[in-house]
Amino acid sequence: MAEEDDHILVQVIDSGIGISPEGLPRIFDDFYRGVRVDSTGAGLELSIARKIVEAHGGRIWAESPCPESGIGSKFTFTLAKNLATTQGEKGEV
């Protein structure tokens, strides 16, 4: 986790099989499960994560393979430190 001027930045890195180049643009879509899926699930987890992050004034994205290690994936999201300022509102959130 890192703090920047108006937001915090969180990164999660794994060393798994990664995400295919074809699937990467779609991983935050509702019900998308990828082409190399051996587990159960509805394909909503990352879609829900995106909706929560965006509702709090943030942004989420993924890189695969992870640029630092060349394997797995890196998921990054930001959250606004002050949602009221980000949304142009005054007062408490």
Q: Which two tokens stand for residue 14?
A: 């794994």
Please state the pTM of the whole predicted model. 0.78
Q: Which two tokens stand for residue 11?
A: 């990164």
pLDDT of 49 reads: 96
pLDDT single digits (tens) 13-30: 999 989 999 999 999 999
91 part of a folded domain: no
51 part of a folded domain: yes
pLDDT of 85 reads: 55
pLDDT of 91 reads: 47
How far apart are the C-alpha atoms of 68 and 85, rounded to whole Å?
33
Residues sharing a CB contact under 8 Å with residue 90, sequence separation 6 or more, in sequence order: 84
25 part of a folded domain: yes
pLDDT of 51 reads: 97
92 part of a folded domain: no
93 part of a folded domain: no
Burial (CB count within 10 angstroms: exposed 0-12, middle 13-18, buried 19+), residue 64: buried
Among 52, 61, 73, residue whose Cα is nearest residue 28: 61
- Name the domain count of the chain: 1
Q: Which two tokens stand for residue 42?
A: 């509805």
Domain containing residue 41: 2-86
**pLDDT digits (tens), the chain, 93 positions:** 888 888 999 999 999 989 999 999 999 999 888 766 566 777 889 999 999 999 999 999 999 999 999 999 999 999 998 866 555 554 444
Burial (CB count within 10 angstroms: exposed 0-12, middle 13-18, buried 19+), residue 21: exposed
pLDDT of 65 reads: 95
Among 50, 48, 66, residue whose Cα is nearest residue 58: 50
CATH of the domain at 58: 3.30.565.10
